[in-house]
A and B are shown apart, each in its own frame.
Chain A
Amino acid sequence: MELTGAEITVRCLAEENVEYVFGYPGGAVLNIYDEIYKQDKFKHVLVRHEQAAVHAADGYARATGRTGVALVTSGPGATNAVTGIATAYMDSIPMVVISGQVPTPAIGMDAFQEVDTVGITRPCVKHNFLVKDIRDLASTIKKAFYIASTGRPGPVLVDIPKDVTQFRAEFEYPRNISLRSYNPVTKGHSGQIKRAVQMLLSAKRPMIYAGGGVILSDAAKQLTELARLLGFPCTNTLMGLGGFPASDPLSVGMLGMHGTYEANMAVHHSDVLIAIGARFDDRVIGNPEHFYQEERQIIHIDIDPSSISKRVRVDVPIVGNVPEVLTEMIKLIKASKEKPDQAALKTWLTQIELWRSRDCLKYDRSSDIIKPQFVLEKLHEVTKGDAFVTSDVGQHQMWAAQFYKFDKPRRWINSGGLGTMGFGLPAAMGVQLAHPDAMVACVTGEGSIQMNIQELATCKQFNIPLKIILLNNRYLGMVRQWQEFFYGERYAESYMDTLPDFVKLAEAYGHAGRRIDNPAEVEDALKWAFSAEMKEKLVFLDFRTDQTENVYPMIPGGKGLSEMILV
């Protein structure tokens, strides 16, 4: 049967078992919206800004591992989506974005609401398509989902001109797809895996450095098994938190710019470092010249060859899918008669405990001003460590990463690579829709929350009962911290003056809120927010926190892992 392009688009999404489409209508996509209206295979969530549509699709993808879907109109719809797309790109999130385009004969004519969407998004997508021929539509959407979710995941954009949504073509959804130009590797090279295992078994000061690739590939189980089997300590990147249980004694927490003293010292002094789905980011290793250690050997597992030896030369590169490579390693280790040198390992773990006893995350617990760290510890306690936590960008993000101890993967959802303020609330919407019964907390700052505050309306419309944990320090705190440390305390434009009354604002959108000024009220407020009574409601908690608190430890830009500023 012949279908219109709009019908085909909607049918393709149904074929992909899409559960939610996050979007915003406009002229170029009206035909598609008309078909969405007529179907009931998936739900459409009307956001209040296209950036939020993409972040919500992103949050949904991070919390489930499935491909998120966003739909926007041409011109301003597409440009508003760009920040969201770039955010997903930097963190390798599987996503398909469908954008409307002006009709094909109008392309290039400076038509109303025309922008070169494929051109604008090219550097921040895994791939993109402009569908000029209705006969290519179904196969293009199939390709988009395939490319987005395989190999190193990423956002794929499909730009569909309005006339293509009107034309008719025979519809058949391709079952399988293969592209001669795109064949991601999955199995690692067996010789390299053997070498890596040899190196691990002969290590005296081993260290596992696990990143977002472990989360993206659902390899937490294999990682945990490997670390425990060998008895090796493990650190996670900001993107890898939850990939290895934070409560395990072998966990040394996060490494990097705001990582723990023990994690950074252990990586710095290790003799064998195995990087698993991590990309030696500048916020992690600082200056590569300071990071380099003559006697340390590095094993690197990554599905993307271009992540390997990009910033740091490695000794054993393994291109492959984390769970498959780790399974292979575990098999070899179990079969091997060799065991790591237990005496050396014991000395090493004792050294790490010594570093840990430095208690680098300590803060003033007797303060009568609310300390942000305290709120997060209480949040962990009240939610029993079982909440999905999204965050925005700034100090609150770092404290959430340090103080909410994640034991499970896909629970910690934040923008690491792009560092997008405004991500937290819409991402939390996607998470809550994916897991309607779960506790979802959005940890945010008063700067960040105002970047997508309009989404409180979306939450109302779709009954999304997430909890907003605002650590309100009346400062663009992370900026203020840099100005204090590196700009002679000249606080240029980092003070958040004339803030709204957030409780009233939440109420104006139809939600509940509470302002908390004293440490003694913190626990009570959190219990209230997560109580059965408020289960169906969005609760906005405005914690008035210490204005001058800083995030420690900190490695200043350009320095190495052992050059931390400690509290």
Chain B
Amino acid sequence: MRHIISLLMENEAGALSRVAGLFSARGYNIESLTVAPTEDATLSRMTIVTRGSDEIIEQITKQLNKLVDTVRVVDLSDGGHIERELMLVKVRAEGILREEMKRMSDIFRGRIIDVTDKTYTIEMTGAGHKLDAFLGALDKSAILETVRTGASGIGRGDRILKS
């Protein structure tokens, strides 16, 4: 099962390597990991997307909690949550492709943020499957480069993760 885990950590040097090290040392799968400081500069927030059986996910949350720098751990998949990912895609935009790419970007609510006479760079946010769908809808040979941030997640409504 896919799980999306949110983590508040002390914003200390090495916090990221402790988390990454934990996943590799224990052989846990890590699909994506995003990290950045929060409005409180002493805290950083991570979102980890992982896969595993219920037993493994239970161990992952316990092991994350056990890290001395960990302030809070929440498995967002346990309740209502929203996740978003940012993707930048550079596509070929010459000849007939130029119009086509603009149209596709609009349909998927992307924004063209850089233009040359040969390329467009499209910015798009959404759940991972939406970004996948966009890429799937494009002509493979037209995609020059993609970069994705991995998911960031937050609980719905008054599910709030605070220190």
In the complex, which of the residues B21, B58, B59, B69 contacts A123, with contact meaning CB atoms closer than 8 Å?
Answer: B21
Bound state CA distance, A322 and B66, in angstroms? 18
Which among B12-20, B124-132, B133-141 touches the partner chain? B12-20
Name, among A126, A305, A309, A313, the residue most crowded by chain B CB atoms within 10 Å (CB to CB): A305
Q: What is the minimal beta-carbon distance from B76 to any residue of chain A, in angstroms?
A: 20
Bound state CA distance, A127 and B21, in angstroms? 13
Nearest A residue to B58 via CB reads A309
The interface residues of chain B lying within 8 Å CB-to-CB of A126 are 68
Nearest A residue to B8 via CB reads A181
B63→A306 contact, CB < 8 A: yes
The interface residues of chain A lying within 8 Å CB-to-CB of B163 are 180
Known: A123-B25, A180-B163, A181-B10. A310 touches B59 (CB 8 A): yes
The interface residues of chain B lying within 8 Å CB-to-CB of A118 are 14
Bound state CA distance, A460 and B17, in angstroms? 43
The interface residues of chain A lying within 8 Å CB-to-CB of B14 are 118, 122, 130
Interface membership of B9, Cβ < 8 A: yes
Known: A130-B13, A180-B163, A181-B9. A309 touches B55 (CB 8 A): yes
In the complex, which of the residues B21, B58, B63, B68 contacts A182, with contact meaning CB atoms closer than 8 Å?
Answer: B68
Interface membership of A304, Cβ < 8 A: yes
Bound state CA distance, A313 and B53, in angstroms? 14
Bound state CA distance, A508 and B66, in angstroms? 48
B21→A122 contact, CB < 8 A: yes
Interface membership of A199, Cβ < 8 A: no
Interface membership of A109, Cβ < 8 A: no
Q: What is the minimal beta-carbon distance from B28 to any residue of chain A, in angstroms?
A: 13
The interface residues of chain B lying within 8 Å CB-to-CB of A119 are 17
A179→B18 contact, CB < 8 A: no
Bound state CA distance, A127 and B69, in angstroms? 9
Interface membership of A215, Cβ < 8 A: no
Q: What is the minimal beta-carbon distance from A156 to any residue of chain B, in angstroms?
A: 9
Binary CB contact string for chain B from 3 to 45 against chain A (1 if under 8 A, 0 otherwise): 0000001100110011001000100000000000000000000
A305→B68 contact, CB < 8 A: no
In the complex, which of the residues A127, A180, A306 contacts B62, with contact meaning CB atoms closer than 8 Å?
Answer: A306
In the complex, which of the residues A122, A147, A309 contacts B17, with contact meaning CB atoms closer than 8 Å?
Answer: A122
The interface residues of chain A lying within 8 Å CB-to-CB of B68 are 126-127, 147, 179, 181-182
The interface residues of chain A lying within 8 Å CB-to-CB of B58 are 309
The interface residues of chain B lying within 8 Å CB-to-CB of A132 are 13
The interface residues of chain B lying within 8 Å CB-to-CB of A304 are 66
Bound state CA distance, A127 and B10, in angstroms? 13
Secondary structure of the B contact surface, majority rule: helix
The interface residues of chain B lying within 8 Å CB-to-CB of A313 are 55
Q: What is the minimal beta-carbon distance from A319 to any residue of chain B, in angstroms?
A: 10
Q: What is the minimal beta-carbon distance from B117 to any residue of chain A, in angstroms?
A: 43
Interface membership of B71, Cβ < 8 A: yes
Nearest A residue to B25 via CB reads A123
Bound state CA distance, A309 and B59, in angstroms? 8
Q: What is the minimal beta-carbon distance from A282 to any residue of chain B, in angstroms?
A: 15
Q: What is the minimal beta-carbon distance from A116 to any residue of chain B, in angstroms?
A: 10
Interface membership of B70, Cβ < 8 A: yes
The interface residues of chain A lying within 8 Å CB-to-CB of B25 are 123
Q: What is the minimal beta-carbon distance from A189 to any residue of chain B, in angstroms?
A: 16
- 8 Å CB interface, A108-151 against B: 118-119, 122-123, 126-127, 130, 132, 147
The interface residues of chain A lying within 8 Å CB-to-CB of B9 are 181
Interface membership of B65, Cβ < 8 A: yes
Q: What is the minimal beta-carbon distance from A355 to any residue of chain B, in angstroms?
A: 32
The interface residues of chain B lying within 8 Å CB-to-CB of A147 are 68
Bound state CA distance, A356 and B87, in angstroms? 67
Nearest B residue to A305 via CB reads B62
Binary CB contact string for chain A from 307 to 340 against chain B (1 if under 8 A, 0 otherwise): 0011001000000000000000000000000000
Binary CB contact string for chain B from 144 to 158 against chain A (1 if under 8 A, 0 otherwise): 000000000000000
Bound state CA distance, A310 and B70, in angstroms? 20
Q: What is the minimal beta-carbon distance from A141 to any residue of chain B, in angstroms?
A: 15
A181→B62 contact, CB < 8 A: no
- 8 Å CB interface, A286-314 against B: 304-306, 309-310, 313
Bound state CA distance, A127 and B55, in angstroms? 25
Nearest A residue to B62 via CB reads A306
Nearest A residue to B10 via CB reads A181
Binary CB contact string for chain A from 176 to 210 against chain B (1 if under 8 A, 0 otherwise): 00011110000000000000000000000000000
Bound state CA distance, A313 and B13, in angstroms? 36
A-B contact pairs, 19 of them (CB 8 A): A118-B14, A123-B21, A126-B68, A127-B69, A130-B13, A130-B14, A132-B13, A147-B68, A180-B71, A181-B68, A181-B69, A181-B71, A182-B68, A304-B66, A305-B65, A306-B59, A306-B63, A309-B58, A313-B55
Chain A residues close to B by CB (< 8 Å): 118-119, 122-123, 126-127, 130, 132, 147, 179-182, 304-306, 309-310, 313
By Cβ-Cβ distance, the 8 closest A-B pairs, closest first, are A306-B62, A127-B68, A181-B71, A305-B62, A182-B68, A123-B25, A181-B10, A306-B66
Beyond A127-B68, A180-B71, A306-B66, 8 additional contacts (C-beta under 8 Å) are A122-B18, A130-B14, A132-B13, A147-B68, A179-B68, A181-B9, A181-B69, A181-B71
